[in-house]
Structure 1
Amino acid sequence: MRSGGDLLTPEELIEGLGIGRALAFGAHPDDVDFGASATLAALADRGAEVTLVLLTAGDAGGFDAARSAEETARVRLAEQQAAAEVLGIREVVLLDGRDGFVQPDEALIGEVVRLMRTYRPDAVLSFHPERNWDRLQASHPDHLACGEAVVRAAYPAVENPFAYPELAQQGLEAFKIKHLLLMGAPADRVNLRVDVTGLQERKIEALSRHFTQHRDAERMVGFVSDQMSRIHGGGGFAEEFHHVVVNSPETISGF
């Protein structure tokens, strides 16, 4: 079954959205690699500066009950850094959230705003804040909380000079996010697909760096490949998003 939404080449995506900088948020290591790694690799290959933010170190993930949470966090961060190298991601930023207990509260939104104002991206990638009932595994509570925090930060907090005034005092002035690209969206929200044909093996290679997370690596590869093929619907491979235009030249503040 073909997925919905316009199918764009990476060049069309970059030109249409004006992406020179992209900031991606994931709740755990490997989250963004599943949802958007081929798109991020395409952006990086074409000169965009790509930064990845992890809200947690993923210390509650994996299948080795004998490994401590501290060791799991260390290993998973190393896995994500290795995957980032495969994709051309410039930097991995780790926040101190607790795996399994992420909440879109004032403190987390403030951290997201701080990072947005620091990197000043043209596009922000994150999870969709709405639950996907077709595949509940795509809607881990931490994913939903991550998406909600990012959306709340994108509007209005990051562009409101009266929100988090301490950031302005640090030289991090308010600015406007242009685009959100949200992963794991319910099917009726998907309105954009990115043709990543030729980059599917890079995605698999990045995912394969997360050794602790794949009890059956062969099955993972088959699932991801089939999913990208289904999304494309025309013999190639694609990733899909709910594209939200937060600010455009036609946007009136508050409307």
Structure 2
Amino acid sequence: MSTNATTAQSPFDPDKSRIGRVLCFAAHPDDIDFGAAGTVAAWTAAGVEVSYCIMTDGDAGGFDPEQRDEIVRLRSEEQRRAAALVGVTDIHYLHERDGYLEPTHEVIRQVVRLIRQLRPDVVLAMHPERNWNRIQKSHPDHLAVGEAVTRAVYPALENPFAYPELAAAGLEAYKLPWLWLFAGPEERENHFVDVTAQVDRKLAAIHIHVSQHPDVEAMERTVRGLMGQTAERAGLPAGRSAEAFHVVTVNGPGTIAGF
């Protein structure tokens, strides 16, 4: 599958690398919509199967004290509806506590289990490195997602002797081709996707998360501005919008086991 993308020393060539299935990991409902919903919408429109795994229930989110008893149900429903707008219906939850996520072996094992089940071409996740230019991207749960997923994809995912109970249950080791990370430091970005055609769908998905937006107009203005700035960094013409990723080759033509 090919997406309209520009690259800056990216190892990923959209014209040569086929993507048939993608698994996205995020900390909270709405994280994927802010960081990658345009790219997700482009993938699903091209026939790619995309699944989400949300690691926490988002139970510490929102602004209304009256919603505390309903916030988990509310945010789950918001994520379901937002995902549907960009073509995603398969959503998994790890049900970790919002604000307490850590890259423990229990979390990593669950990540390995799900990747081995779905065997995607791309795992997309939040970045394990802090973004000092926009620290709101680097909620501790976001960093924990990145660390847990990165530890999972190498070496545990492809090592049949890591978490042997998974192999015993029929979930065989799997060599992942690509890891795409978002919401990390700008200096790590090496792959840009032109999502100009998907901006309306991305914003519609973000708008679904009404429990998280005390100022909807400011949210939309900020998101549009950031996508424009990303397109500028990518070298796209004025007026375009883009999403940025740090693409890592996990297993490619030159990969040797253990090297």
- CA deviation map 1:209-230 (0-9, x unaligned): 0010000001110100111111
Q: Does 1:86 align with 2:88?
A: no
Aligned to 2:21: 21
Compared with structure 1, are the counterparts of its residues 229 and 6 closer, same or farther at alpha carbon in structure 2 (3 Å cutoff)? same
- CA deviation map 1:61-118 (0-9, x unaligned): 00011222x4100000000000011000131111110000000010000000000001
Residue identity in the other structure for 1:27:
A
Compared with structure 1, are the counterparts of its residues 252 and 13 closer, same or farther at alpha carbon in structure 2 (3 Å cutoff)? closer
Distance in structure 1 (CA, Å) of the matches to 2:7 and 2:162: 37
Aligned to 2:241: 237
Aligned to 1:56: 56
Correspondence 1:172-211 to 2 at 5 A? 172-211=171-210
Aligned to 1:119: 118
Contact 2:6 2:194 in 1 (8 A): no
The alpha carbon displacement at 1:249 in A equals: 1.5
Aligned to 2:258: 254
Aligned to 1:65: 65
Distance in structure 2 (CA, Å) of the matches to 1:232 and 1:55: 29
Residue identity in the other structure for 2:17:
L
Secondary structure of the corresponding residue to residue 117 of structure 2: helix
What is the percent sequence identity of the aligned residues?
Answer: 50
Correspondence 1:161-172 to 2 at 5 A? 161-172=160-171
- CA deviation map 1:170-224 (0-9, x unaligned): 1110011111110012111010000111100100000000010000001110100
Residue identity in the other structure for 2:249:
V
Secondary structure of the corresponding residue to residue 96 of structure 1: strand
Distance in structure 2 (CA, Å) of the matches to 1:208 and 1:110: 33
Aligned to 1:218: 217
Residue identity in the other structure for 2:220:
V
The alpha carbon displacement at 1:7 in A equals: 4.1
Distance in structure 2 (CA, Å) of the matches to 1:250 and 1:99: 39
Alpha carbon RMSD of aligned pairs, Å? 1.5
Distance in structure 1 (CA, Å) of the matches to 2:85 and 2:168: 37
Aligned to 2:42: 42
Structure 1: unaligned runs, 5 residues or longer: none
Residue identity in the other structure for 2:251:
N
Compared with structure 1, are the counterparts of its residues 13 and 217 closer, same or farther at alpha carbon in structure 2 (3 Å cutoff)? farther
